Amino acid sequence: MGSTLAITAYMTGRLFIDFPGIPIIGVILIGVAVGAGLGLINGLLVAFGKVPALVVTLGTMYIYRGIVLTWAGNDRINASDMPREFLSLGTMQIATIPLLTIAAVLVLIAAGYWLSSTRSGREMYAIGSNPEAATLYGLLTIRRIIVAFVIGGALAGLAGVMYAARYGTVSAGAGMTWELNAIGAAVIGGVAIFGGSGTVWGAALGAILLMTINRTLPIMGVPDFWQRAVVGALIIGAIVLDRYLAVRQTRKLQEARDET
């Protein structure tokens, strides 16, 4: 996610520089399309290469980061390179609520509804829980996996565009190590590290918790080492708890079968 964001954020600035007068909506759509394309590459590798998603995305993370490092080099996009109307999107408020917050909430609502209330969304859980069983049941596993990665890439592309609008300064280091924050937020929010359970609402709460910790501990004078240690402990604790609950649930189901 971080590397995809970096590519689309830097590309956003370059579009405004190389194509003066380009419509803002056009830049946003291009950013989303590029992000979706990068997500499609991940999805194809996972779906047809039968390679674990964690391995694929770890590899493409370095590839995408290498692309933006080569492309940007030591160059930096500054606020003066982008239109004021575009930059205002990063600070605009509607009824005192930041536009970026509204956009994030709308994405959460849409994703939450899709996963919990639609057939294709529930199939995502089934595939994450047991891909082999989902395939035997007749679910369109390959298509669903590709769709998931395309949507994730498109949202990362949109985030890159909004990153450029919010901060006004973009370099090749944009979004560096954000992947770890994303994983930490999801796991702490109750999303199973191996798939099959969890909600976007939980992931959002995990992100808020991480953000609160990262902002509060420095104010309290906690050394950087212990700040990272606290986050690491939360992630490990969440994974251990998830596995414990999964094993306990499996044991209960087995006991119920034995009784019948």
Please tell me the pTM assigned to this model. 0.84
Q: What residue spans define the domains of the chain?
A: 1-174, 177-260
Sign of CA dihedral 142, 146, 151, 155: positive
Residues for the chain: how many in total?
A: 260
Q: What phi-psi label fits residue 51: left (phi over 0), alpha (psi between -120 and 50 degrees) or beta?
A: beta
pLDDT digits (tens, 9 = 90+) for 245-258: 777 777 877 777 77
pLDDT digits (tens, 9 = 90+) for 104-126: 999 999 999 998 888 888 888 88
Helical H segments across the chain, by residue range: 2-18, 24-49, 53-72, 84-87, 99-117, 119-129, 131-137, 141-167, 178-188, 200-219, 224-259
pLDDT digits (tens, 9 = 90+) for 170-185: 888 888 888 888 888 8
pLDDT digits (tens, 9 = 90+) for 46-69: 988 888 888 899 999 999 999 999
**Three-class SS of residue 98?**
strand
